[in-house]
């Protein structure tokens, strides 16, 4: 994100603040709590790519910039 333009950052901030997107994200968290919805072939999509840091967003995550 260090190289993103101010316009790109404004768009990202707007998207992460959108109430509909927040509801979709809540649905993803609910789905992630159900192991039967896991798709194994996607578990390590970015494995071995040093530019990608994998992790988990907390449910109450906010866009900080």
- Note the pLDDT tens digit of each residue in 2-39: 788 999 999 988 988 888 988 887 877 777 788 788 78
**What is the pLDDT, as a whole number, of residue 3?**
87
Question: Are 28 and 37 in contact, with CB atoms under 8 Å apart?
Answer: no
pLDDT at 57: 67
Report if residue 42 sits inside a domain.
Answer: no
Question: Quick one: pLDDT at residue 34?
Answer: 83
Using only the alpha carbons of the chain, give its radius of gyration. 14
In a domain, 43, yes or no: no
User: Is 13 within a domain?
Assistant: yes
Task: Give the C-alpha separation, 44 to 28, whole Å.
Answer: 18
Count structural domains, the chain: 1
DSSP 36: G
* Domain with 21 in it: 6-36
In a domain, 12, yes or no: yes
Q: Is residue 60 part of a domain?
A: no
Q: Is position 19 within any domain?
A: yes
Q: Does residue 30 fall inside a structural domain?
A: yes
Q: Is residue 65 part of a domain?
A: no
């Amino acid at each position: 994100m260090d190289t993103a333009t101010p316009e790109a950052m404004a768009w990202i901030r707007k998207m992460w603040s959108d109430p509909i997107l927040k509801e979709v994200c809540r649905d993803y968290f609910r789905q992630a709590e159900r192991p039967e919805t896991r798709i194994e072939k996607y578990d390590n999509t970015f494995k071995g790519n040093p530019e990608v840091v994998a992790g988990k967003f907390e449910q109450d995550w906010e866009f900080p910039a």
